[in-house]
Chains A and B, each alone.
Chain A
């Protein structure tokens, strides 16, 4: 993107940790844990552009959006609007800055006060900032309602009389009332029907042209982001995995996570033969995010140490086994469930060879795996498991299999004009990684 222009909004190191499980007593005793919802996010928003932020549930999208506006206090970091730091602004200053930065909410059913008429909802920002009163206020409300495709007749109705799409329009009218420069849209269409989604997205685009707005659009729906955004950031566990112009992010080269997300877009063409990438494991808890690259626990392209000659899927499976062992205290959690078990005896009573088969079955590992060293480490670990010594089994496997991704937290490497990817595959140390095409 053109770096010659000054960004209208500049975010540096924005961080929000939540205290978890904390009553007052827990806090005093230092027993509380921190949920790292957003962990050091940098972004810039240029005038007139739309920045899309995508990610799956729980990756910190909404927290990021609300921390941007200090609707929740960020733990650290700065948000600069036209050079002025929002995080350091006084309450009064912040209140007047809210005229310039507005917010559109995800749920049109809970974001409108059911006790106020639509006219009062849209007119509220006018009252708060003393923009218009009396006759002028009524005219402005009518104008706003018409701008978003409603009618001034609606001003005396209550929100419950409207459909979801109409309510979202009311929310947009409310945000527009103060004549903002920047609007942060938190999942603006995810609560709406597909046909209505298109109307609202088109409305947002029309308003952008008309008023020269800049948007930050949060979404989990990639097609929404592709439709509306000029640039896209892919968020994973509170950090950006990839960031760049929409076309760059949606085309290769990809961050492995973004690639998996893109492959999950439903495809209406029955003749479609593209591959769906399935990620192993679950999203790690933000209470205790993985060291190194946050995606390494699920990454299908996780890097092998030098000299290893395993196939990529074997390598992934071995790392899965290693992670599973880490908090395992029973054999059941690392063995496949056999249908012919008859419920008689658990895996503890299996012979050494039967146990080995079950473990390999659970993790889809061939016998033997294609690398000799790896095979011996795996056998050693299964031996120890058979003895019931979990610590030794863990040690055997921990030493043998360690990916660089577990040690190094990758920065955002530039791979093109404004296109940055946080993956070691794109770093200087791995110039000939298969992905770097």
Chain B
């Protein structure tokens, strides 16, 4: 018995012997090449998700059809000579001397029929993808970029900066989204870039709030302090350490809201506040023909003038949502409340 403190000694265990002994199996630590990054792993999981891949194929097909619908000419040089659509979208066919009348039912010559001005609906639906898709992608790209930077700055610096920046956001959130877009279009007038501006103005706030919340969480990690201890500047800390770890929910949100924007554009078009009347945008096409939903000339309902543009909107938005869900699963971003589903405005 003693009151002298002892020391723990381990006997019978020789670390060197363990290192030197014969390997138990032929497993070696040396793996070929670099290990799989997060994005590769995400892409592998995404590819195994059938519905998401289906969505991707549909969106890709619609994008290709839109691009190759009519030739594209830049500054007098034709950069895309193909024309899948048989007619120009704004061509009134009987004016061109063809034997076609208004509201002609689908036939081999006109697979989707013709509309009230005797224009070929098939050509218009194909071509219309250019408006909806490009507005959707441009708006989401711009809003996500603005929201990312805004939210990152607010969340990272915190305090007064955060307080002021978030009150500005509250101002945006105070308006119902589509209503604000409607007002902006009403003030600026109809047009492609006016629509982009209207949806950008209402869209970025959601991303900013989402990314701010993520960044508040991520910046508590010790590797952020570690980067500061190494002498990194704020910009480097934010964009190399904080944002890459906070960006996954933003990507999910962005992919889902492409559908939202397309629905929104179509909705404004249907209200007559989208693109100028006569353009082949899907929502505007619906607006032009909405009286036919109830009753057309001669008591028949020309269903083809509404079903095909409406179906195109439906197909695209659903596909985008499938893709968004697939990305969500692949990146394992948290599901639920803070990631809104596409189509909710």
Chain A positions near chain B (C-beta within 8 angstroms)? 24, 66, 69, 71, 94-96, 98-99, 102-103, 105-107, 110-117, 124-125, 128-129, 153, 156-158, 161, 171, 174, 178, 265, 267-269, 271-274
When distances are taken between beta carbons in the complex, the residues of chain A under 8 Å from B1 are 271, 273
The interface residues of chain A lying within 8 Å CB-to-CB of B20 are none
Binding site for A on B (CB under 8 A): 1-3, 5-6, 8, 29-30, 33-35, 37-38, 160, 163, 221-223, 225-233, 236, 240-241, 244-245
Q: Determine which of B30, B228, B240 lies in contact with A71 in the assembled complex, contact meaning CB atoms within 8 Å.
A: B228
C-alpha spacing A24/B164, complex, angstroms: 12
Cα distance, A161 to B232, chains bound together (Å): 25
Of B5, B35, B163, B228, the contact of A267 (CB 8 Å cutoff): B5
* Among B35, B226, B233, contact of A103 (Cβ-Cβ < 8 Å): B226
Docked-complex contact A267 and B229, CB < 8 angstroms: no
Given contacts A111-B222, A269-B5, A272-B2, list 20 more A-B pairs with CB under 8 A: A66-B225, A69-B229, A71-B225, A94-B231, A95-B233, A98-B230, A98-B231, A102-B230, A103-B229, A105-B222, A111-B226, A115-B38, A124-B227, A161-B35, A174-B226, A267-B5, A269-B2, A269-B6, A271-B1, A273-B2
Given known contacts A272-B3, A273-B2, A113 and B223 CB-to-CB distance under 8 angstroms: yes
Which of B37, B221, B230, B244 has its CB near the most chain A CB atoms (within 10 A)?
Answer: B230
Within the complex, which residue of B6, B160, B231 is in contact with A125, where a contact is CB–CB below 8 Å? B231
C-alpha gap A71/B228 in the complex (Å) = 7
B-chain residues with CB within 8 Å of residue A174 when the two chains form the complex: 226, 230
CA distance A347 to B1 in the complex (A): 47
Contact of B231 among A95, A107, A110 (CB under 8 A): A95
Report yes or no: B35 in contact with A158, Cβ–Cβ below 8 A: yes
Partner of A268, one of B8, B35, B240: B8
Which residues on B sit within 8 Å (CB–CB) of A115?
38, 244-245
Q: How many inter-chain contacts with C-beta < 8 Å in the A-B complex?
A: 91
Query: Given the complex, which residues of B lie within 8 Å of A69, measured CB to CB?
Result: 229
A98 proximity list for chain B (CB < 8 A): 229-231
From A107, A128, A265, A268, give the contact of B230 (CB < 8 A).
A128
Contact of A273 among B3, B231, B232 (CB under 8 A): B3
Contact call B5/A128, Cβ cutoff below 8 A: no
Give bound CA distance, A116 to B239, whole Å: 13
Contact: B241 with A153, CB < 8 Å? no
Residues of chain A contacted by B8 (CB below 8 angstroms): 268
Chain A, residue nearest B244 (CB):
A115
Question: Which residues of the other chain, A, contact B34 by a CB distance below 8 angstroms?
Answer: 117, 156
Most chain A C-beta atoms within 10 Å of own C-beta, residue among B5, B226, B232, B236: B226
| C-alpha spacing A116/B38, complex, angstroms | 10
Q: Which residue of chain B has the shortest Cβ distance to A269 in the bound complex?
A: B6
8 contacts between A and B (CB under 8 A): A98-B229, A98-B231, A99-B231, A102-B230, A111-B221, A113-B240, A128-B231, A156-B35
Kindly provide the distance from the CB of B1 to the nearest chain A CB, expressed in whole angstroms: 5
Q: Is the CB of B228 within 8 A of A114?
A: no
**Contact indicator B227/A268 (Cβ below 8 Å):** no
Q: List the A side residues contacting B221 at CB < 8 Å.
A: 110-111
Which of B5, B222, B228 lies in contact with A107, CB distance below 8 A? B222
Kindly list chain A residues whose C-beta atoms are within 8 Å of the C-beta of B222: 105-107, 110-111
Contacts of A274 in B (CB 8 A): 3, 5
A103, A117, A129, A171, most chain B CB atoms within 10 A: A103
By a CB distance below 8 angstroms, the chain A residues around B232 are 124, 128
* Contact between A71 and B244, CB atoms less than 8 A apart: no
Q: What B residues does A271 contact at CB under 8 A?
A: 1-2
Distance of A364 from chain B, by nearest CB (Å): 26
Distance in Å: Cβ of B144 to nearest Cβ of chain A = 19
Shortest C-beta distance, A69 to chain B (Å), equals: 6
User: Would you call A124 and B230 a contact (CB within 8 A)?
Assistant: yes
Assembly CA distance A174 to B221 (angstroms) = 17
